[in-house]
């Protein structure tokens, strides 16, 4: 085992421990533990930074870079050197303050969201934005202060590239959305009946397992905001949210997080505790190559598979057996139509496929404006509500259903929201490739079988971990990153327009 491998393995152990503390903070920790947890995470992230900046780490990486016999090993060494350059620019005190603020702000956000009161979260967001601006200044940029923030989550993207991407997509979405909104509305009353939480949990756990989620290496828990997190590929956990008065939330939230989990579980075992399973710039223990590629796997499973008629031809009888009183008067076709309806709503995680990206665009515009100072934190609720009114024709009744609905800003994840739409576009590109190159995958999906899809995605995406970029993977199948053509074709085929 090389010196570099040993050093990165220890670094990965530290970051997996950070993940364990973060999972606990979001799932189990009592509210009073937030401040102490912030100190704990800050200490560990500071230690991780010191490990990256240790001169011995650079020496080990340079040795591997110049002696490795294969590209995969050289790319691991290059990733270490890029991380060293990144962290050398960021003061240690800034990293500490960001980690401490994340834990405290997360607890404040949860309270503010529950009470629908932005004022409770405002001072925390003010500090988070200030810290993000300091980070952007420390990292440097030639264009917009949003650039270095976005690149932490999706390397290569900038405010300019993202603006072009979203403008092109928005123009293509409009006629499809107009067509869909002009169609008769399906019946949806049964989605809002009383669905006991324990029964939802049992159904969702079985559904995740049917999609390939290995519960000997993972578990399903409850969180205010659903997420997936891994402590190496051998322990990959997912959470969902249970609304007794609205069934789709838990089902599609679970399928979404299962997509993330399958990616992490599918990373080549040889990459465990290596640079190809460690985001050394963002300081995350994660095997997926970028947030956008990660979202492509979850959105592919959630939408292309989980909302398909073929999926429910296999699973609806089990759902009706779980809720015989609630779904006794509902046909399979009615259920499929209801969960694929197009209906503008306030909540991103409940949004249909056509309006979902408008929710993302709203958030990205606000993030960019916060970073360049053209929008103050005080004005976030007003800007949010105005955008919801303009884009979706909706009035926001209170901040809990508006600018407080997402956990991301409380964790300091400014720059992460574009990756959701990047994921949507990438998922469609991958499925278009499979339809052309592997028609057997589509045939299997049409019969409700997801095994061939998992095998193909494992070979094309999952096993590579961080050893290949999103661009590398897409170009290997003749696609270019952020091309929205296949995504719009998919949406037109499903919704018209």
C-alpha to C-alpha distance for 343 and 341, rounded to whole angstroms: 6
**Which residues sit opposite 229 in a β-bridge?**
237
Taking CA atoms, 378 is separated from 121, 180, 203, 363, 375, in Å, by: 11, 36, 42, 15, 8
- What would the two tokens of residue 330 be? 């509902």
Annotated binding site: 256, 260, 295
Per the annotation, the verdict on 334 as an active-site residue is no
Annotated binding site for Zn(2+): 256, 260, 295
Backbone angles phi, psi at 8, to 5 degrees: -70, -35
- What would the two tokens of residue 249 be? 């939330």
Q: Do 342 and 177 meet the contact criterion of CB atoms below 8 Å apart?
A: yes
C-alpha to C-alpha distance for 147 and 112, rounded to whole angstroms: 29
- What would the two tokens of residue 111 be? 């309270």
Q: What is the DSSP letter of 276?
A: G
Q: What is the DSSP letter of 231?
A: S
- Cβ contacts of residue 275 below 8 Å, gap of 6+? 8, 76, 77, 79, 80, 466
Q: Do 195 and 245 meet the contact criterion of CB atoms below 8 Å apart?
A: yes
Q: Which of 100, 135, 228, 257 is catalytic?
A: 257
In 3D space, the residue among 437, 462, 440, 463 whose CA is nearest the CA of residue 452 turns out to be: 440
C-alpha dihedral over 149, 281, 220, 248, to 10 degrees?
20
Secondary-structure percent of the chain, ordered helix, strand, coil, rounded to 5:
70, 5, 30
Angle, in degrees to the nearest 10, between helices 309-322 and 197-210: 140
- The residues carrying an active-site annotation are 257
């Amino acid at each position: 085992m090389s010196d570099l491998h040993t050093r990165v393995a220890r670094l990965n152990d530290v970051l997996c421990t950070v993940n364990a503390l973060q999972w606990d903070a979001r799932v189990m920790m009592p509210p009073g533990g937030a401040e102490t947890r912030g100190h704990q995470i800050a200490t560990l992230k500071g230690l991780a930074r010191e490990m990256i900046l240790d001169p011995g780490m650079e020496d080990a990486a340079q040795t591997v870079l110049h002696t490795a016999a294969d590209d995969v090993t050289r790319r691991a060494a290059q990733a270490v050197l890029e991380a060293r350059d990144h962290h050398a620019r960021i003061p240690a005190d800034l990293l500490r303050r960001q980690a401490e603020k994340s834990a405290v702000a997360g607890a404040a956000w949860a309270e503010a969201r529950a009470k629908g009161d932005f004022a409770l979260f405002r001072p925390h967001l003010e500090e988070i934005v200030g810290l993000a601006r300091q980070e952007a200044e420390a990292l440097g940029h030639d264009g917009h202060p949003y650039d270095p923030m976005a690149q932490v989550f999706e390397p290569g993207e900038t405010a300019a590239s993202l603006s072009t991407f979203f403008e092109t997509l928005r123009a293509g979405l409009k006629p499809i959305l107009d067509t869909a909104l002009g169609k008769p509305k399906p019946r949806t009353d049964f989605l809002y009946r009383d669905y006991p939480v324990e029964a939802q949990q049992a159904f969702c756990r079985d559904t995740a397992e049917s999609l390939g989620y290995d519960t000997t290496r993972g578990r399903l828990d409850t969180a205010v905001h659903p997420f997936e997190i891994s402590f190496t590929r051998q322990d990959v956990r997912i959470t969902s949210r249970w609304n007794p008065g609205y069934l789709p939330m838990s089902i599609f939230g679970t399928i979404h997080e299962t997509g993330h989990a399958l990616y992490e579980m599918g990373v080549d075992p040889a990459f465990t505790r290596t640079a190809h399973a460690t985001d050394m710039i963002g300081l995350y223990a994660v095997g997926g190559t970028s947030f956008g590629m990660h979202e492509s796997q979850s959105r592919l499973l959630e939408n292309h598979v989980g909302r398909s008629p073929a999926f429910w031809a296999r699973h609806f009888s089990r759902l009706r057996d779980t809720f015989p009183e609630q779904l006794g008067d509902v046909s399979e076709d009615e259920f499929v139509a209801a969960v694929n309806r197009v209906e503008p709503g306030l909540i991103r995680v409940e949004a249909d496929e056509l309006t979902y990206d408008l929710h993302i665009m709203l958030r990205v515009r606000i993030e960019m404006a916060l970073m360049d100072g053209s929008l103050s934190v005080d004005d976030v609720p007003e800007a949010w509500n105005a955008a919801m009114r303009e884009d979706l024709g909706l009035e926001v009744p209170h901040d809990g259903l508006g600018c407080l609905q997402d956990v991301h800003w409380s964790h300091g994840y400014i720059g992460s929201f574009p990756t959701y739409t990047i994921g949507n576009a990438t998922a469609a590109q991958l499925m278009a490739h499979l339809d052309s190159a592997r028609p057997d995958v589509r045939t299997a999906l049409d019969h409700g079988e997801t095994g061939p899809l998992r095998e193909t995605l494992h070979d094309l995406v999952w096993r590579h971990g961080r050893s290949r970029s999103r661009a590398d993977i897409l170009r290997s199948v003749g696609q270019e990153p952020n091309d929205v053509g296949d995504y719009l074709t998919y949406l037109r085929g499903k919704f018209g327009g």
